Amino acid sequence: MYPMNEYEFIPNHNAKMHHQTPSRLIAIGDIHGQLDMLNRLLNSIVPTEMDQFVFLGDYIDRGKNSKGVIDRLIQFRCEFPRTVFIRGNHDQMLLDVLVELGARADMRLRDISSKYHASSPETDLEIFLSNGGNETLRSYQIKDVTDIPTEHISFLNGTRLWWQYENFVFVHAGVAPNLPLEMQDPFDLLWERLSPPGKDGSIHVVGHHPTTGEPYFEPGRYSLDTGGVYGQTLTACDVHTRQIWQVR
């Protein structure tokens, strides 16, 4: 088991739902600060309290309105409190910077994962800024990452590394084979692009690796990052039926 502290770097992932089966189980791919696209996508879905939503992470960076996206997701959580928010590697990069700068007490990804830049000369701040973090800071109209509102940091800190419902495993990037979810290296869950699909009926529902505008369905995996921040589409999918909603 990876180290834990009072901030619970790896939150409780017990996914049993204490209510009726959702009418739709809808996963949404990487948003990356694209607030207008997110709003239009949600308007096309017309969410109801009978739905279960799972957002697959990477809410910030690269797009022009990361602040607006987090505000909208916090509002959405108030409207639909059962919503699950998966953590993406970009969300983790921001949380790691705050630890590095002493603004947050927790363990960074590099502290608990031998796979993640353990010997990298770059600081977490340099990694964040070079991967779209400057756009995030501009959206907040700040220069210092420690000036991001506490409510927004708390939202990102409350995201999950994975969530399971029935035979669906929702995770940002990938799942290493032959390991229980509780024992996964966070690097694989947040960053790995080469993990195999699920097997024996398990379906991994992932973002992270952008396609060229359309979701990619394969046995054992649904890939839903369709490159919205790169001029392609933002995608939602009811994983039970494979119905999709998309906006450009």
Question: How is the chain split into domains, by residue range?
Answer: 24-247
For residue range 50-108, what is the model confidence (pLDDT) as tens digits?
999 999 999 999 999 999 999 999 999 999 999 999 999 999 999 999 999 999 999 99
Spatial CB neighbours of 188, under 8 Å, sequence gap ≥ 6: 115, 173, 174, 175, 176, 195
Q: 191-197 long-range contacts, Cβ below 8 Å, gap at least 24?
A: 191/89, 191/115, 191/116, 196/220, 197/221
In the sheet that holds 168-171, the strands lie side by side as: 162-165, 168-171, 203-206, 221-223, 216-218
**Structure-derived torsion over alpha carbons of residues 211, 28, 86, 159, reported in degrees to the nearest 10:** 130
Cβ atoms of residues 197 and 48 within 8 Å = no
Taking alpha carbons only, the member of 96, 78, 99, 100 closest to residue 87 is: 96
pLDDT at 115: 87
Taking alpha carbons only, the member of 230, 200, 232 closest to residue 213 is: 232
pLDDT at 15: 44
Percent of the chain clearing pLDDT 90 (strictly above): 88
**What's the Cα-to-Cα distance from 5 to each of 2, 77, 93, rounded to whole Å?**
10, 25, 19
Q: Which residue has the tokens 């602040």?
A: 67
pLDDT at 5: 29
CATH for the 24-247 domain, from 1.10.260.40, 3.60.21.10, 3.90.1210.10, 3.30.420.40? 3.60.21.10
pLDDT at 12: 37
pLDDT at 118: 63
What's the rounded Cα separation, in Å, for the pair 110 and 116?
5
Residues of the chain short of pLDDT 50, as ranges, are 1-18
Percent of the chain clearing pLDDT 70 (strictly above): 91
